[in-house]
Chain A
């Protein structure tokens, strides 16, 4: 493929896909170790009521109100889950199940009740996004990457996703030590004065930021898969947290690239005409990587004695 074809059509979705995958996978490592892997699932479900409400309030489908709406919904969900868990003394899994299904149901109902027929807002879009449509028409080839005028015509999702990824990475590097410490031994972290609740909340908020930015570009399904699959596969490769996070970045990148390529060209190679969903394929590839790691990863089994709960 030539640059003239690749840069406008494939470069933006690839970059967006890779960034989305990395932004979710990095905080996913900590969620995984804290046994909160499913919080990503919960967050990505409540994005729907958030964007529907944002639409009803502003009447437009522009990106910022939608992302703010989704962000607020994610925070409300996290708060509600915590409230249900503490007030009702309900185990976290069940508390999540109650909150995210109810909020999702509310979102679907709102969507059906409001007149959204004139705009493109539906459940399917929130679920699997539309990575393939994020193209860069102003690009003529690789030279455009260095052309400020052409760069201005990049899909805005790309900038948002790149910035979000940078923010997530900076947060994780900056708070690496307290995150690692409080994830490993929360009681000890408390006694040296670390604000463990704040750290936990900060992690979830960072994850929510990643999820909201990623859903806008690639849909919820990638978000859930990237929160869990690359970190889980990385967990089987190494016994060092630093290496695990690097592995998860590698796996996330491979999933995004391979998934995008397979979705776009796989069917053509098999003789079909139409591409398949890139978001779905990226999730599928990440599952394949996890399966391989679970079968052959050098550190796939537990090394410590199981925790007595």
Chain B
């Protein structure tokens, strides 16, 4: 089954500046069965921006992220990173998967998980150097987990697990950060810690994109939102995107008017 994706053929798509953005998605359609989970979505994410991908359950938020990363195969569409095919720019991209996507009973320690973020420089057999160790411990310190370094990962709380995943992404020292539901099932302290790390990244000119499902906190945490329900409903600043018709289109009857009011 050939999709003729130009990106997979390694060609540059166009010289348009829009495609030089850290992440540009054009006409992306992903389908698990015969109903598209994501249909013909265009999206562009720029440096120094922190964007929330927002929508109801089953709106295709995580799917959009996974397709952008090449974890799920799209039915059609183009994805480019800094104007290049995604595959050639992996070193500059960090990904924080959903916490529930791995088995936390896996026999390993916090330190080892964060060290995985440096796999690209470690390779198969290179020895772990002091520099590697320093990056790992610094990353842990930035999420406030340095004292847990030698803890078995199964002994962590949900919030701590999420922080470890974020630390692993930090250890990747990337320019584009993609996070899937980083606030799902975490405590308030963790939520604060994560958001302040993300804001630091934005201040450093990095691009941050996070799947988020809480309309109420979105305006406070993010400066841009990408409202999705299978298709793109709206994209822009919180004020631009969170209009009554847009929220209605994204959430349909699934959201009480009062809640929408709160978000607006």
Q: Do A and B touch each other in the complex, judged by CB within 8 A?
A: yes
Using CB atoms, name the residue of chain A closest to B102: A185
Q: A273 → chain B, closest Cβ, in Å?
A: 46
- Cross-chain contact of A303 among B123, B155, B172 (Cβ < 8 A): B155
CB neighbours of B123 from chain A (8 A): 177
In the bound complex, CA of A307 to CA of B119 (Å): 25
- Interface hit among B10-18, B44-52, B90-98: B90-98
Judged by a CB distance under 8 angstroms, whether A188 is at the interface is: yes
Judged by a CB distance under 8 angstroms, whether A33 is at the interface is: yes
Q: A174-B125, A303-B152 are in contact. Are A187 and B108 (CB under 8 A)?
A: no
Q: A177-B124, A190-B71 are in contact. Are A304 and B93 (CB under 8 A)?
A: no
- Cross-chain contact of B152 among A178, A190, A239, A308 (Cβ < 8 A): A239
Q: B106 and A33: CB pair below 8 A?
A: yes
Q: A247 → chain B, closest Cβ, in Å?
A: 10
CB neighbours of A180 from chain B (8 A): 108, 112
CB neighbours of A184 from chain B (8 A): 102-103, 106, 108, 113, 116
Q: A178 and B107: CB pair below 8 A?
A: no
Chain A: how many interface residues by the 8 Å CB criterion? 31
In the bound complex, CA of A71 to CA of B252 (Å): 56
CB neighbours of B104 from chain A (8 A): 303-305, 307
Q: B211 → chain A, closest Cβ, in Å?
A: 13
Q: A307 and B70: CB pair below 8 A?
A: no
For window 120-173 of B, CB contacts with A under 8 Å fall at 120, 122-125, 152-155, 158, 168, 172
Q: B124 and A185: CB pair below 8 A?
A: no
- Cross-chain contact of B95 among A177, A191, A307 (Cβ < 8 A): A191
Judged by a CB distance under 8 angstroms, whether B105 is at the interface is: yes
CB neighbours of B71 from chain A (8 A): 187, 190-191
Q: B95 and A188: CB pair below 8 A?
A: yes
Judged by a CB distance under 8 angstroms, whether A64 is at the interface is: no
Using CB atoms, name the residue of chain B closest to A190: B71
Judged by a CB distance under 8 angstroms, whether A238 is at the interface is: yes
The contact sample of 10 A-B pairs, CB cut-off 8 A, is A33-B103, A180-B112, A181-B119, A183-B106, A185-B101, A191-B93, A192-B90, A235-B107, A304-B153, A307-B103
Residues of chain B at the chain A interface (Cβ within 8 Å): 66, 69-71, 87, 90, 93, 95, 97, 100-109, 112-113, 116, 119-120, 122-125, 152-155, 158, 168, 172
Residues of chain A at the chain B interface (Cβ within 8 Å): 33, 174-178, 180-181, 183-185, 187-188, 190-194, 235, 238-241, 243-244, 302-305, 307-308
